[in-house]
Amino acid sequence: AEERGELAVKDAKLRIKDLEDALQRAKQDMARQVREYQELMNVKLALDIEIATYRKLLEGEESRIASGGNTATIHIQESSSSSGGGGGGFGYGGGSGYGG
């Protein structure tokens, strides 16, 4: 009977050790998942801010166009010479107009 009791205690201690190891692994896994979640939330926040910024820019442009605000025109000019060299120019011109 004493031998069975010692065996039961030894078995219980092994079981406790296994459970403690499993608990430690679960805690480490949970900590890793919390870190990953925080990283994802940081990325989401940055993307939400970027989306809001672009939305405001688009709304501003839409209202500017709807009210007939200033328009910008981009002109690209190419030139060539007989010496074989080439040259290019890039010009930006802005103006205002009302149209629809």
The residue extents of the domains of the chain are 2-70
Asked if pLDDT for residue 17 goes beyond 70, the answer is yes
1: part of which helix (H) or strand (E)?
Answer: none
pLDDT computed for residue 92 by the predictor: 41
For the chain, give the number of residues: 100
**Residue 95 pLDDT more than 60?**
no
* Type of residue numbered 34: V
Q: What pLDDT, in 10s, does the model give residues 40-87?
A: 999 999 999 999 999 999 999 988 888 876 656 666 777 665 544 444
